[in-house]
Structure 1
Amino acid sequence: MAGNSWILHRNSSVNFEKIGDSAHTMLIADASEPYEVFGSTTNWRDPELARNTGPQSFGNCFPGETFVLLADGRVIQVPLVENERWKLLRGREELRPDPLATQRPDTPWELGDRPYVPRPRQQSGNRNR
């Protein structure tokens, strides 16, 4: 899972009043690999990127669907073919953050005595294999 960078980015202070239509605004959703370290403070993704297209996109290992937690608390399933609906879930244009607010540090995470290096993105196979 990863946060919607339009709402959950570095030093953000977005409240429900700013979100507006919480029934149609994504807070978090399934994330494509590579995953962030658990508890990462930079675990957000840009909702404008097409799903399952790269390391900073939303999506999931079953590429036909993405599960989304909306700001009103509901969880919905958005099929990959519903691109217009996906665009509406990102939030109002006024929520778009300054690109500096969503930059990640250049240094990798440290896990004990070794750096965390994300695995390369793998192609999903048939889930029934």
Structure 2
Amino acid sequence: MPRPSLSYHEKLLRKAISKNLKKLSEGRTQAEISESTNIPTSTLSGYFAERSTINPENTEKLANFFNVSLDKIDPRYSRNILFLEDNDDEDHSLEIEILDMIEQLNKENKYKAFINTQKLLINQKENN
């Protein structure tokens, strides 16, 4: 059975993690990082090549190795909710992030999100 395709959000997340790791690892090989962190080189290669998404345990190992906070490896640890802006199409990226969040809500909370969005639209029309 094939794996489900990645969401736009997941693709951007992998891209951000890869970019962060490449920047932090300048001057070090994946083999050196692997030896120091006990993360297999094949796993690291997957992160660098955007083939896999890092897990919390490996995020912590790498953050300790590079002596940085977790969000410098994985933007999901950032307090900035818009951590995955796509510079080519910022509005589209925000829409995708919102849709991904809504998908995670249960039916009751989806309804609440719908009602709140309606209220925002009414308020916006009244103020324009």
Q: Do the two structures share a fold, i.e. TM-score over 0.5?
A: no
Higher relative contact order (CA 8 A, sep 6+): 1
Larger fraction in strand: 1
TM-score by length of 2: 0.26
TM-score by length of 1: 0.26
Structure whose CA Rg is larger: 2
Larger fraction in helix: 2
